[in-house]
Amino acid sequence: MTNLIVEISKYLMILLMAVYTYANFRFFSFPDMERKRKVCARQNRAMFAIHFLAYLVMFLKTEDEGMQAMLLAFYGAQVVFFLCYIYLYRLLYRNVSRLLVNNACMLLCVGFIMLTRLSMAKGLDKALRQFAIVVISAALAWLVPYIMERVWQLYKLQWVYAGAGLLILLVVWAAGNESFGAQLSLTIAGVSIQPSEFVKLTFVFFAASMFYQSTDFKTIAVTTAAAAAHVLVLVASRDLGNALIYFVSYLMMLFVATSNWFYLGAGAAGGAGAAVAAYHMFSHVRRRVQAWRDPWSDVDDIGYQAAQSLFAIGTGGWFGMGLYQGMPEKIPVVDKDFIFSAVSEELGGIYALCLLFICVGCFLQFMLIATKMQAMFYKLIAFGLGTVYITQVFLTVGGATKFIPSTGVTLPFVSYGGSSVLATFILFNIIQGLYILKRGEEEEDEKDQAKSQGQ
């Protein structure tokens, strides 16, 4: 009986994920808010059903009664969190984007499911830690739209953003902890923090502030020099994945601000040259490129991680092995860099593609908000943060599927990692703040039009 429930649940979760993903794109076709609200309500029902089915399967597959009780309590805590996050956000901010809230919850839901499954053997240690970080991060990030509604001079702090960001990156370079060949984190009071996740945000605000004030050659040269300093410090720390994210986001913001194809072409050529130089300078880059080109030539060492990732994706096929039916734990760092492979193996290729489409849907909403913002400063912030987000998704999924060499970055909201979770919450809430500002402006315009028509 248990096996039958597990098998049926697998297909139901895929179907519900497809329904959620379809609604994610269908949302944009409706002009009136009432129909959009109904779509979001349908998404909520699909998400909670997926969440329930996944934990039902894990409960049935667990024989230890103590672990079953822990699973039930953990599941209940997550349900309470999701309900509070969805409804309190609406209570705090009347004009909130429900779609963006839903997508954040859906990505977190997938992350909780996979981390619970992966950390079951160790008493849910990582899953519980991630949940605690998510709750704290969500509460802190709720303040971001409030601040953006009331602080209008953010564009004047350009050198505060640049100075603070560079200083933090230099501290990591000088005293950071090494992990997988790169200096990524600092340990403060026993807590490990990856500062580059937060500097991404100040980096975007710096570039947006500079280009908002001027796009003459002198300003561009100064801004490019400061941006290059950020990237070079990351390169010196051998954090090349984040260096690439910074580079791509800056280049695209520069192009949007100036519409100059020469800058785009020159930057792309410079980036290609820097990639070649990094290959020759860093041994761990050469190892990752070799693993990408032919993981089978040294499958027991250099190519082991890439090969196990491909095995997992191939074994799962379109419909997956089912929760607890695969062996995702064989992939090194599976809960961070290769979480997409674990999703593909046990929940299936269709489910994993839907997850990717949800990420793309978030990016599309970021871009729509960017196009609607009248102030260039806000437009550049939305575009820059959207580029940071989708570049990180591309690097994570591309590395897991051997489309590109692995870069060691996480899948936002899904992978394990406290700094990534908090930074992504702040990123999403900055976009929410922009959306709320725009909806407020539109409502004021509608009131003015109604008054003029009444007169």
Of 58, 4, 100, 140, the closest CA to residue 421 belongs to 140
- Whether 454 shows a pLDDT value over 70: the answer reads no
> What percent of the chain stands above pLDDT 70?
96
Strands (E), 168-292: 177-179, 182-188, 191-193
Task: Please give the pLDDT value at position 113.
Answer: 95
What pLDDT score does 249 carry?
Answer: 96
CA 304, CA 422: separation in Å to the nearest integer? 31
> What's the confidence (pLDDT) of residue 300?
76
Distance CA(433)–CA(369), nearest Å, equals 11
pLDDT at 53: 95
Rounded (10°) angle between helices 261-281 and 283-293: 100
SS (H, E, C) 194-226: CCHHHHHHHHHHHHHHHHHHCCCHHHHHHHHHH
What pLDDT score was predicted for residue 387?
96
Task: Choose between 449 and 12: higher pLDDT.
Answer: 12
- pLDDT value of position 151: 78
User: Taking the CB of residue 392, how many other CB atoms lie within 10 A of it?
Assistant: 27
Task: Count CA atoms closer than 13 A to 104's CA, side-chain side.
Answer: 29
- pLDDT at position 448 is 63
Q: Cα-atom radius of gyration of the chain, to the nearest Å?
A: 22
Cα gap 336→417, rounded to integer Å: 7
In this prediction, residue 247 carries a pLDDT of: 95
Reported pTM: 0.94
Q: Three-state DSSP class for 193?
A: strand
Q: How much is the average pLDDT of 58-63? A: 88
Banded model confidence at residue 438, pLDDT cuts 50, 70, 90: confident
Rounded to the nearest angstrom, the gap between the alpha carbon of residue 80 and the centroid of all alpha carbons in its chain is 23
Q: Using the predicted structure, report yes or no on whether residue 190 has a pLDDT greater than 90.
A: no
Question: pLDDT averaged over the chain?
Answer: 89
Reduce the DSSP state of residue 179 to 3 states and report it. Answer: strand
- pLDDT band at 237; cut points 50, 70, 90: confident
Average pLDDT over residues 379-386: 95
Quote the pLDDT of residue 349.
94
In sequence order, what are the residues at sequence separation of 6 or more whose Cβ sits closer than 8 angstroms to the Cβ of residue 318?
Answer: 348, 349, 350
